[in-house]
Each structure stands twice: as C-alpha cells, then as structure tokens.
Amino acid sequence: MTFIKKSVTFIFIVVCFSCKITKNSNDKKEPKVAYLAAYMKAKDEKHMYYAIATDTFLFKEINNGKPILSASFDDKLIRDPMVFQDQNGVYHMVATVSWKNRPLTVWDSNDLIHWENERLVDVAPKNASKTWAPELAYDEENDLYFIYWTAEINNEWKTASIYYATTKDFIKFSEPKVLYSDDNDGILDANIIKVNGLYKLIYRKNGIWVASSKNALGPYSDSYQLTKENVEGPYAFHLNNSNEFGITWDYYRGNNGFGLLISSDFENWNRVTNQKKPYYNENVEFPEGIRHGSIIGITQKELDSLLIVFK
C-alpha cells in the first residue's frame, strides 16, 4: 500500500492509490439492535478494541479481549478512536497517531470488520505543536463532512482550541479553521451531535461543557457546564430506536472507566452510572481499562457478523 501526500494552495491532500471506498449494502434506516463501543485501553494506546451491548448498556468485550486493529504509521498509536458512518453507509475511523507530531490517521470500512486504506492526514494549522482527539461529523445543510480536532500552537496550553477542515471524500481536506476556542484557557476533546435542529458541541474545560449552534460549523455559543467532575473524552450518541441521547465520559484519573448520562433535550439529564465509585450497576457496565472512544448503534446483520468474526 503506497501513500503520497501532496499539498496545493489552501487544500490539504492525502492521495491513497489503493483507496477504494464503496457503498455499504446495509441500509442506514435498518433498526439498530445493539451498541458497539470502539476504544483504546489505559495500558494500550496502540490498538483499538471492541465491546458490544445488547442488554441495556452492559458492554462486553469481544474477540476475547484482544485488539481489533493496530496502526502502521508515526508513533503507531490508535488513541481516541472515533467510528463514523457516512451518508452512503461507509464507515470511517479517525484517531490520534502521535503525541508529538501533526498528522492524524484515517481508515475506511464497509463492515466494521475489515479496516482498510490507513492513511496519514495533515490538516493541522501552522505552528501546531501537536494535534489529537480527531472526530468526524456531517453538515446536513451544506452536504459536507468535516474532521475536527484539538490543536495546540507552539506548545502553549492556552492556545489549545478546536479546529476543523471540510471534506467530501475523506481524502481531500480544506484549509483548517478554528471551530471553537476559549480566550481564557485551553479546551480539548470536542464532540458534535445534532439535537432537535441544533448542533451541540461537547468539550472539556475544567469539567464537561456544552455549546450550541444552528450551523454545524458554528458559531457556537450559550455554553453551559454539564459536570464539574474531573473527566475527559465526552462522546454523545443517539440511543437506538429512540429520541433520546447518551453522553459518556472518561474517568481518566485512575482509569476508573466511563460515566453515562441520558437526555431527550440536552438540558435535563438522567445519570445511568452511579455518582461515585463503583460507577457501574445492573444497568450499565463497560470493560475494564476502557479509555477514550466512541459508541454507535449497529444492525442485527452487523451484530451477527461481528460476533462470528470476533467471537
């Protein structure tokens, strides 16, 4: 597999000669019957793992707890993996590949089993000293996808902001621009979801905060603090066959697992995990050592295929 990176004015390009992104045979409208969590582990930043929940939010590791995917480039990290399904049903995964370098990594998959076309994508702003926690989202109004991530300029924490670059094919990306920042402090770990006609941007800054916008690319405003807890890696997802949403976050100090809240309006929240350790109960459990990742709903066909391959 050969990758060549070329740049032209205002466009950042990764050319992947073996990339072949095709439509998924699964209909996106098929009912979701389970949740798939893709994540890294506290003691393993170089692999992606899977866990599945078919009964409420009781997530169980598959593949006998062994990794699903490893990286080939740069520092060979798969930190902060985020799995995203495009409008054609194709899955894409983005991840942090290095703690000290600019590029991010992107993969493609038609089935969540075979991840292909691994490539480095450098969309970082000028003088970025590091980039991390990339995610993908869809701008419905403009029919555009965009990748967004945290970047720090010249190793100064207060400059850490959320940047974005648009794309139509996950190969060519626009010039990076600031999506959201805080004049007084650095922010990180952004996540975007559309809720009742508004885009919600969830991020970490001394706890977890939520800002809103009518447009996917902002401007975002009216931020409020969801929790003061010392957590990171918030991730919002649609509950299967429901009008509700969930948010998980990472109790990264001491590797204490995930927290989970549920809401129908992003204003009134019900906590599913316990307020204090142990965080898990009869309704929710995540694998030991789970760290920053993503959760998606999957169909019966996808569930069956995953369980056949990754017993």
- Per-residue pLDDT of 184-225, as tens digits, reads 899 999 999 999 999 999 999 999 999 999 999 999 999 999
The pLDDT of residue 160 is 96
Contacts of 105 (CB under 8 A, 6+ apart): 71, 73, 74, 78, 94, 95, 96, 97, 118, 119, 120, 121
Structure tokens at 249: 């976050």
Domain-located, residue 68: yes
Domain-located, residue 26: no
Q: Averaged over 126-130, what is the pLDDT?
A: 89
Q: How many domains does the chain have?
A: 1
Domain-located, residue 50: yes
Predicted TM-score (pTM) of this structure: 0.92
- The pair phi, psi for residue 227, each rounded to 5°, is -150, 145
Contacts of 167 (CB under 8 A, 6+ apart): 144, 145, 146, 147, 173, 174
CATH number of the domain residue 265 falls in: 2.115.10.20
pLDDT band at 4 (very low <50, low <70, confident <90, very high): very low
Instruction: Calculate the dihedral angle through the C-alpha atoms of 255, 124, 74, 192, rounding to the nearest 10 degrees.
Output: 40
pLDDT band at 21 (very low <50, low <70, confident <90, very high): low
The pLDDT of residue 8 is 30
- Tell me whether strands 57-58 and 284-285 are parallel, antiparallel or unpaired: parallel
Q: Is the pLDDT of residue 2 over 50?
A: no
Sign of the alpha-carbon torsion through 60, 66, 68, 71 = positive
How far is residue 47 CA from its own chain's centroid? 15
**How many alpha carbons lie under 13 Å from residue 304 in its C-beta half-sphere?**
3
The parent domain of residue 234 ranges over 3-14+32-309
Residue position matching structure tokens 């701008």: 139
- The pair phi, psi for residue 184, each rounded to 5°, is -105, -15
- Do the Cβ atoms of 24 and 90 come closer than 8 Å? yes
Average pLDDT over the chain reads 92
Q: Is the pLDDT of residue 72 over 90?
A: yes
Domain-located, residue 23: no
For residue range 232-271, list pLDDT tens digits in order. 999 999 999 999 999 999 999 989 999 999 999 999 999 9
131-152 per-residue burial string, b: 16 or more CB within 10 A, e: under 16: bbbbbbbbbeeeeebbbbbbbb
Domain-located, residue 101: yes
Structure tokens at 128: 């970025």
* % of the chain residues with pLDDT over 90: 86
Q: Is the pLDDT of residue 84 over 60?
A: yes
For residue range 99-117, list pLDDT tens digits in order. 888 999 999 999 999 999 9
Domain-located, residue 20: no
pLDDT band at 20 (very low <50, low <70, confident <90, very high): low
CB atoms within 10 A of CB 89: 15
pLDDT band at 6 (very low <50, low <70, confident <90, very high): very low
3-class DSSP state of 101: coil
Structure tokens at 12: 């950042």
Q: How buried is 8 (Cβ within 10 angstroms: 0-12 exposed, 13-18 middle, 19+ buried)?
A: exposed
Structure tokens at 305: 């295929």
Q: Is the pLDDT of residue 1 over 50?
A: no
Domain-located, residue 22: no
19-44 per-residue burial string, b: 16 or more CB within 10 A, e: under 16: bebeebebeeeeebbbbbbbbbbbee
Q: Write down how long the chain is.
A: 311
- The pair phi, psi for residue 170, each rounded to 5°, is 65, 15
Domain-located, residue 24: no
For residue range 272-307, list pLDDT tens digits in order. 999 999 999 999 999 999 999 999 999 999 999 999
